[in-house]
Amino acid sequence: TKSLLSDPSLPAPEAQACVTLIKTATEPQGRRPALCVSLLLACLTSLLSPLLVYFSLAKANVTLFAMETAAGKAFEVQVPFSPVYIGIGSLLTLPTALVIFGGAAIRLIIEYMLAEMKFSDPEAAVDWPSDSTSWIGGGAMTAAVIYAMLRFLSPTGAAMVDELSKSEAELLSLPSRVVSLLWVAIAAGSCLMGLQILLTNGLDGFTITMLAAFVFMALLMSALGAVLSLQIGTSASPVSGTIFITALVFCLLLLAWGRNAFSDVELLQNVLTGTCVAVSAANDLSQDCKTLQLCGFPPRSGFVAQLIGGLAGSIVVPCALYVADDAYGLGTERLIAPQGQMF
Protein backbone atom coordinates (compact mmCIF):
# COMPACT_ATOMS: atom_id res chain seq x y z
CA THR A 1 0.00 0.00 0.00
CA LYS A 2 2.80 2.40 0.83
CA SER A 3 4.45 1.69 -2.52
CA LEU A 4 1.25 2.41 -4.43
CA LEU A 5 0.30 5.58 -2.58
CA SER A 6 3.83 6.99 -2.65
CA ASP A 7 4.52 6.29 -6.34
CA PRO A 8 4.53 9.61 -8.26
CA SER A 9 3.87 7.79 -11.55
CA LEU A 10 0.36 6.84 -10.36
CA PRO A 11 -1.68 10.05 -10.74
CA ALA A 12 -4.97 8.78 -9.22
CA PRO A 13 -7.29 10.92 -11.41
CA GLU A 14 -10.45 10.68 -9.30
CA ALA A 15 -8.53 11.38 -6.11
CA GLN A 16 -6.96 14.47 -7.67
CA ALA A 17 -10.39 15.68 -8.77
CA CYS A 18 -11.85 15.12 -5.30
CA VAL A 19 -8.98 16.94 -3.63
CA THR A 20 -9.40 19.88 -6.00
CA LEU A 21 -13.09 20.14 -5.14
CA ILE A 22 -12.41 19.82 -1.40
CA LYS A 23 -9.71 22.48 -1.42
CA THR A 24 -11.85 24.78 -3.53
CA ALA A 25 -14.83 24.37 -1.24
CA THR A 26 -12.74 25.14 1.85
CA GLU A 27 -11.06 28.22 0.40
CA PRO A 28 -12.04 31.60 1.89
CA GLN A 29 -14.94 33.27 0.12
CA GLY A 30 -12.75 35.86 -1.55
CA ARG A 31 -10.30 33.31 -2.97
CA ARG A 32 -12.85 30.71 -3.97
CA PRO A 33 -13.31 30.47 -7.77
CA ALA A 34 -16.80 30.58 -9.22
CA LEU A 35 -17.58 26.97 -10.01
CA CYS A 36 -21.35 27.25 -10.30
CA VAL A 37 -21.34 27.31 -14.09
CA SER A 38 -18.88 24.45 -14.63
CA LEU A 39 -20.39 22.24 -11.92
CA LEU A 40 -23.91 22.90 -13.16
CA LEU A 41 -22.96 22.09 -16.74
CA ALA A 42 -21.13 18.94 -15.63
CA CYS A 43 -24.13 17.72 -13.65
CA LEU A 44 -26.55 18.51 -16.46
CA THR A 45 -24.49 16.77 -19.14
CA SER A 46 -23.97 13.71 -16.92
CA LEU A 47 -27.73 13.57 -16.35
CA LEU A 48 -28.91 14.40 -19.85
CA SER A 49 -26.53 12.14 -21.78
CA PRO A 50 -27.97 8.81 -20.56
CA LEU A 51 -31.51 10.21 -20.73
CA LEU A 52 -31.06 11.18 -24.38
CA VAL A 53 -29.77 7.70 -25.13
CA TYR A 54 -32.61 6.08 -23.17
CA PHE A 55 -35.29 8.00 -25.08
CA SER A 56 -33.52 7.27 -28.40
CA LEU A 57 -32.76 10.94 -28.95
CA ALA A 58 -29.05 10.17 -29.15
CA LYS A 59 -26.93 7.12 -29.83
CA ALA A 60 -24.91 5.41 -27.13
CA ASN A 61 -21.85 5.61 -29.41
CA VAL A 62 -20.83 8.31 -31.85
CA THR A 63 -19.51 6.94 -35.15
CA LEU A 64 -16.38 8.78 -36.24
CA PHE A 65 -15.64 6.62 -39.26
CA ALA A 66 -17.51 3.89 -41.11
CA MET A 67 -16.76 1.86 -44.22
CA GLU A 68 -17.38 -1.49 -45.86
CA THR A 69 -14.27 -3.58 -46.38
CA ALA A 70 -13.38 -5.57 -49.47
CA ALA A 71 -14.60 -8.67 -47.65
CA GLY A 72 -18.04 -7.10 -47.35
CA LYS A 73 -17.79 -6.52 -43.61
CA ALA A 74 -18.65 -3.29 -41.81
CA PHE A 75 -15.82 -1.46 -40.06
CA GLU A 76 -16.63 1.44 -37.73
CA VAL A 77 -14.72 3.64 -35.32
CA GLN A 78 -16.95 4.70 -32.44
CA VAL A 79 -16.57 6.63 -29.20
CA PRO A 80 -19.04 6.44 -26.30
CA PHE A 81 -21.47 9.31 -25.87
CA SER A 82 -20.51 10.03 -22.27
CA PRO A 83 -18.94 13.10 -20.63
CA VAL A 84 -17.34 10.84 -18.01
CA TYR A 85 -14.61 9.73 -20.42
CA ILE A 86 -13.84 13.33 -21.33
CA GLY A 87 -13.43 14.21 -17.66
CA ILE A 88 -11.23 11.21 -16.93
CA GLY A 89 -9.14 11.88 -20.01
CA SER A 90 -8.41 15.43 -18.91
CA LEU A 91 -6.98 14.13 -15.62
CA LEU A 92 -4.58 11.60 -17.13
CA THR A 93 -0.90 12.27 -17.44
CA LEU A 94 0.44 12.58 -20.99
CA PRO A 95 2.43 9.29 -20.93
CA THR A 96 -0.62 7.38 -19.68
CA ALA A 97 -2.86 9.00 -22.29
CA LEU A 98 -0.40 8.13 -25.06
CA VAL A 99 -0.21 4.51 -23.94
CA ILE A 100 -4.01 4.24 -23.89
CA PHE A 101 -4.25 5.86 -27.31
CA GLY A 102 -1.59 3.52 -28.65
CA GLY A 103 -3.44 0.48 -27.34
CA ALA A 104 -6.68 1.67 -28.93
CA ALA A 105 -4.89 2.30 -32.23
CA ILE A 106 -3.39 -1.21 -32.23
CA ARG A 107 -6.81 -2.70 -31.57
CA LEU A 108 -8.35 -0.73 -34.44
CA ILE A 109 -5.62 -1.88 -36.82
CA ILE A 110 -6.11 -5.53 -35.87
CA GLU A 111 -9.89 -5.28 -36.13
CA TYR A 112 -9.55 -3.69 -39.57
CA MET A 113 -7.27 -6.52 -40.67
CA LEU A 114 -9.83 -9.05 -39.43
CA ALA A 115 -12.58 -7.23 -41.29
CA GLU A 116 -10.52 -7.39 -44.49
CA MET A 117 -9.92 -11.14 -44.24
CA LYS A 118 -11.81 -13.43 -46.60
CA PHE A 119 -12.36 -17.07 -45.72
CA SER A 120 -13.03 -19.63 -48.43
CA ASP A 121 -13.44 -22.29 -45.77
CA PRO A 122 -16.33 -21.50 -43.35
CA GLU A 123 -14.57 -23.38 -40.56
CA ALA A 124 -11.55 -21.08 -40.87
CA ALA A 125 -13.73 -18.10 -39.98
CA VAL A 126 -14.45 -19.72 -36.63
CA ASP A 127 -10.75 -19.52 -35.76
CA TRP A 128 -10.77 -15.74 -36.31
CA PRO A 129 -13.96 -14.34 -34.72
CA SER A 130 -14.70 -10.63 -34.58
CA ASP A 131 -13.76 -10.50 -30.89
CA SER A 132 -10.25 -11.88 -31.43
CA THR A 133 -8.77 -8.64 -30.08
CA SER A 134 -10.28 -9.48 -26.70
CA TRP A 135 -8.01 -12.51 -26.50
CA ILE A 136 -5.05 -10.41 -27.56
CA GLY A 137 -5.99 -7.93 -24.86
CA GLY A 138 -6.11 -10.77 -22.38
CA GLY A 139 -2.55 -11.70 -23.29
CA ALA A 140 -1.44 -8.09 -22.97
CA MET A 141 -3.16 -7.86 -19.61
CA THR A 142 -1.31 -10.96 -18.46
CA ALA A 143 1.98 -9.28 -19.32
CA ALA A 144 0.80 -6.15 -17.51
CA VAL A 145 -0.03 -8.19 -14.41
CA ILE A 146 3.44 -9.71 -14.29
CA TYR A 147 5.15 -6.37 -14.95
CA ALA A 148 3.10 -4.47 -12.37
CA MET A 149 3.62 -7.06 -9.67
CA LEU A 150 7.36 -7.35 -10.31
CA ARG A 151 7.72 -3.59 -10.30
CA PHE A 152 6.06 -3.03 -6.96
CA LEU A 153 7.74 -6.04 -5.37
CA SER A 154 11.13 -5.00 -6.70
CA PRO A 155 13.80 -3.11 -4.72
CA THR A 156 12.73 0.03 -6.60
CA GLY A 157 9.28 -0.14 -5.03
CA ALA A 158 10.82 -0.76 -1.63
CA ALA A 159 13.19 2.16 -2.16
CA MET A 160 10.25 4.51 -2.67
CA VAL A 161 8.91 3.48 0.72
CA ASP A 162 12.32 3.95 2.34
CA GLU A 163 12.58 7.47 0.89
CA LEU A 164 9.35 8.62 2.53
CA SER A 165 9.69 11.37 5.07
CA LYS A 166 8.85 10.65 8.68
CA SER A 167 5.52 12.47 8.45
CA GLU A 168 4.56 10.67 5.24
CA ALA A 169 5.56 7.31 6.70
CA GLU A 170 3.41 7.95 9.77
CA LEU A 171 0.52 9.05 7.55
CA LEU A 172 0.61 5.77 5.60
CA SER A 173 1.43 3.48 8.51
CA LEU A 174 -1.07 0.96 9.83
CA PRO A 175 -1.26 0.00 13.51
CA SER A 176 -0.80 -3.69 14.21
CA ARG A 177 -4.41 -3.89 15.40
CA VAL A 178 -5.68 -2.60 12.06
CA VAL A 179 -3.44 -5.01 10.16
CA SER A 180 -4.79 -7.87 12.24
CA LEU A 181 -8.37 -6.83 11.51
CA LEU A 182 -7.63 -6.67 7.79
CA TRP A 183 -6.22 -10.19 7.87
CA VAL A 184 -9.31 -11.33 9.77
CA ALA A 185 -11.49 -9.81 7.05
CA ILE A 186 -9.50 -11.62 4.36
CA ALA A 187 -9.77 -14.88 6.28
CA ALA A 188 -13.52 -14.41 6.76
CA GLY A 189 -14.05 -13.80 3.05
CA SER A 190 -11.93 -16.83 2.18
CA CYS A 191 -13.94 -18.97 4.59
CA LEU A 192 -17.21 -17.86 3.02
CA MET A 193 -15.93 -18.71 -0.44
CA GLY A 194 -14.55 -22.01 0.84
CA LEU A 195 -17.96 -22.84 2.29
CA GLN A 196 -19.59 -22.04 -1.04
CA ILE A 197 -17.16 -24.30 -2.92
CA LEU A 198 -17.57 -27.02 -0.29
CA LEU A 199 -21.37 -26.98 -0.56
CA THR A 200 -21.16 -27.09 -4.35
CA ASN A 201 -18.44 -29.69 -4.80
CA GLY A 202 -17.82 -31.44 -1.49
CA LEU A 203 -14.51 -31.84 0.33
CA ASP A 204 -11.72 -33.17 -1.87
CA GLY A 205 -8.43 -32.11 -3.39
CA PHE A 206 -10.17 -30.12 -6.09
CA THR A 207 -12.02 -28.01 -3.51
CA ILE A 208 -8.79 -27.23 -1.66
CA THR A 209 -7.03 -26.34 -4.92
CA MET A 210 -9.84 -24.04 -6.03
CA LEU A 211 -9.94 -22.27 -2.67
CA ALA A 212 -6.16 -21.75 -2.68
CA ALA A 213 -6.35 -20.45 -6.26
CA PHE A 214 -9.19 -18.11 -5.32
CA VAL A 215 -7.25 -16.58 -2.42
CA PHE A 216 -4.13 -16.18 -4.55
CA MET A 217 -5.91 -14.68 -7.57
CA ALA A 218 -8.11 -12.40 -5.45
CA LEU A 219 -5.06 -10.96 -3.68
CA LEU A 220 -3.08 -10.66 -6.91
CA MET A 221 -5.86 -9.12 -8.98
CA SER A 222 -6.90 -6.77 -6.18
CA ALA A 223 -3.37 -5.38 -6.13
CA LEU A 224 -3.45 -5.04 -9.90
CA GLY A 225 -6.87 -3.38 -9.73
CA ALA A 226 -5.50 -0.83 -7.29
CA VAL A 227 -2.52 -0.14 -9.57
CA LEU A 228 -4.69 0.32 -12.66
CA SER A 229 -7.18 2.48 -10.78
CA LEU A 230 -4.43 4.80 -9.56
CA GLN A 231 -2.91 4.83 -13.04
CA ILE A 232 -5.90 5.55 -15.29
CA GLY A 233 -8.83 6.03 -12.93
CA THR A 234 -11.59 3.83 -11.58
CA SER A 235 -14.00 4.63 -14.42
CA ALA A 236 -11.49 3.49 -17.05
CA SER A 237 -9.90 0.64 -15.10
CA PRO A 238 -10.32 -2.61 -17.09
CA VAL A 239 -11.92 -4.80 -14.43
CA SER A 240 -13.11 -7.18 -17.14
CA GLY A 241 -9.51 -7.64 -18.27
CA THR A 242 -8.33 -8.72 -14.83
CA ILE A 243 -11.29 -11.08 -14.49
CA PHE A 244 -10.52 -12.37 -17.98
CA ILE A 245 -7.10 -13.50 -16.78
CA THR A 246 -8.63 -14.97 -13.63
CA ALA A 247 -11.11 -16.91 -15.75
CA LEU A 248 -8.28 -18.35 -17.83
CA VAL A 249 -6.44 -19.50 -14.70
CA PHE A 250 -9.50 -21.17 -13.23
CA CYS A 251 -10.40 -22.77 -16.57
CA LEU A 252 -6.92 -24.29 -16.73
CA LEU A 253 -7.39 -25.63 -13.20
CA LEU A 254 -10.73 -27.16 -14.16
CA LEU A 255 -9.18 -28.83 -17.20
CA ALA A 256 -6.23 -30.07 -15.15
CA TRP A 257 -8.66 -31.81 -12.81
CA GLY A 258 -10.72 -33.16 -15.71
CA ARG A 259 -13.69 -30.96 -14.81
CA ASN A 260 -15.01 -29.99 -18.23
CA ALA A 261 -18.75 -30.52 -17.73
CA PHE A 262 -21.22 -27.68 -18.10
CA SER A 263 -22.26 -28.18 -14.47
CA ASP A 264 -18.80 -26.99 -13.41
CA VAL A 265 -19.64 -23.52 -14.73
CA GLU A 266 -21.64 -22.86 -11.56
CA LEU A 267 -18.54 -23.35 -9.44
CA LEU A 268 -16.49 -21.21 -11.82
CA GLN A 269 -19.11 -18.48 -11.67
CA ASN A 270 -18.92 -18.32 -7.88
CA VAL A 271 -15.15 -17.87 -7.67
CA LEU A 272 -15.11 -15.38 -10.55
CA THR A 273 -17.84 -13.32 -8.89
CA GLY A 274 -15.90 -13.25 -5.64
CA THR A 275 -12.72 -12.19 -7.42
CA CYS A 276 -14.58 -9.54 -9.42
CA VAL A 277 -16.03 -8.04 -6.24
CA ALA A 278 -12.57 -7.96 -4.65
CA VAL A 279 -11.03 -6.23 -7.69
CA SER A 280 -13.85 -3.69 -7.95
CA ALA A 281 -13.55 -2.89 -4.26
CA ALA A 282 -9.78 -2.45 -4.62
CA ASN A 283 -10.36 -0.01 -7.49
CA ASP A 284 -12.55 2.23 -5.37
CA LEU A 285 -10.61 1.85 -2.12
CA SER A 286 -7.34 2.87 -3.75
CA GLN A 287 -8.86 6.17 -4.86
CA ASP A 288 -10.39 6.72 -1.41
CA CYS A 289 -7.05 6.10 0.30
CA LYS A 290 -5.23 8.40 -2.11
CA THR A 291 -7.82 11.14 -1.55
CA LEU A 292 -7.36 10.95 2.21
CA GLN A 293 -3.58 10.98 1.80
CA LEU A 294 -3.63 14.06 -0.46
CA CYS A 295 -5.87 15.84 2.05
CA GLY A 296 -3.42 15.11 4.85
CA PHE A 297 -5.44 12.38 6.57
CA PRO A 298 -4.20 8.84 7.18
CA PRO A 299 -5.90 6.41 4.78
CA ARG A 300 -6.71 4.14 7.71
CA SER A 301 -9.18 6.76 8.97
CA GLY A 302 -11.54 5.79 6.16
CA PHE A 303 -11.58 2.05 6.81
CA VAL A 304 -14.75 2.11 8.92
CA ALA A 305 -16.68 4.11 6.32
CA GLN A 306 -15.40 1.80 3.59
CA LEU A 307 -16.49 -1.24 5.58
CA ILE A 308 -19.97 0.20 6.08
CA GLY A 309 -20.18 1.02 2.38
CA GLY A 310 -19.10 -2.49 1.43
CA LEU A 311 -21.68 -4.08 3.70
CA ALA A 312 -24.41 -1.78 2.40
CA GLY A 313 -23.40 -2.53 -1.18
CA SER A 314 -23.61 -6.28 -0.57
CA ILE A 315 -27.29 -5.76 0.24
CA VAL A 316 -28.26 -3.05 -2.25
CA VAL A 317 -26.42 -4.32 -5.35
CA PRO A 318 -28.04 -7.80 -5.46
CA CYS A 319 -31.45 -6.16 -5.04
CA ALA A 320 -30.70 -3.75 -7.89
CA LEU A 321 -29.53 -6.61 -10.12
CA TYR A 322 -32.67 -8.58 -9.29
CA VAL A 323 -34.89 -5.64 -10.22
CA ALA A 324 -32.93 -5.00 -13.44
CA ASP A 325 -33.10 -8.66 -14.44
CA ASP A 326 -36.79 -8.85 -13.66
CA ALA A 327 -37.54 -5.68 -15.64
CA TYR A 328 -35.21 -6.03 -18.61
CA GLY A 329 -33.40 -9.36 -18.39
CA LEU A 330 -29.64 -9.54 -17.96
CA GLY A 331 -27.92 -10.57 -21.17
CA THR A 332 -30.84 -9.57 -23.39
CA GLU A 333 -30.90 -6.87 -26.06
CA ARG A 334 -32.05 -4.33 -23.46
CA LEU A 335 -29.21 -5.17 -21.04
CA ILE A 336 -26.55 -6.70 -23.25
CA ALA A 337 -23.84 -7.26 -20.60
CA PRO A 338 -21.00 -7.38 -23.17
CA GLN A 339 -18.38 -8.78 -20.78
CA GLY A 340 -20.76 -11.53 -19.76
CA GLN A 341 -21.39 -12.37 -23.41
CA MET A 342 -17.64 -12.61 -24.02
CA PHE A 343 -17.08 -14.90 -21.03
The three-state secondary structure class of 4 is helix
d(CA 299, CA 304): 11
Classify residue 126: in a domain, yes or no.
no
Classify residue 118: in a domain, yes or no.
no
Classify residue 305: in a domain, yes or no.
yes
The pLDDT assigned to 141 comes to 63
Give, for 63, the enclosing helix (H) or strand (E). Answer: strand 61-68
d(CA 143, CA 145): 5
No. of H helices and E strands in the chain?
15, 2
d(CA 292, CA 271): 31
Classify residue 64: in a domain, yes or no.
no
Question: Mean pLDDT across the chain, nearest whole number?
Answer: 79
Classify residue 122: in a domain, yes or no.
no
Classify residue 104: in a domain, yes or no.
no
The pLDDT assigned to 162 comes to 55
The pLDDT assigned to 185 comes to 85
User: Tens digit of pLDDT for each residue in 27-39?
Assistant: 887 777 777 777 7
Q: Please count the other Cβ atoms lying within 10 Å of the Cβ belonging to residue 86.
A: 12
d(CA 292, CA 171): 10
Q: For the chain, what is the radius of gyration of the CA atoms?
A: 23
Provide the domain limits for residue 135: 2-33+131-342
The pLDDT assigned to 196 comes to 85
The pLDDT assigned to 1 comes to 67
Classify residue 61: in a domain, yes or no.
no
The low-confidence residues of the chain, meaning pLDDT below 70, are: 1, 88-92, 119-131, 134-142, 144-146, 148-149, 151-167, 234-238, 338-339, 341-343
Classify residue 274: in a domain, yes or no.
yes
User: Tens digit of pLDDT for each residue in 116-171?
Assistant: 877 666 666 666 666 677 666 666 666 766 676 676 666 555 555 556 666 677 77
d(CA 302, CA 279): 18
Number of domains in the chain: 1
The pLDDT assigned to 156 comes to 56
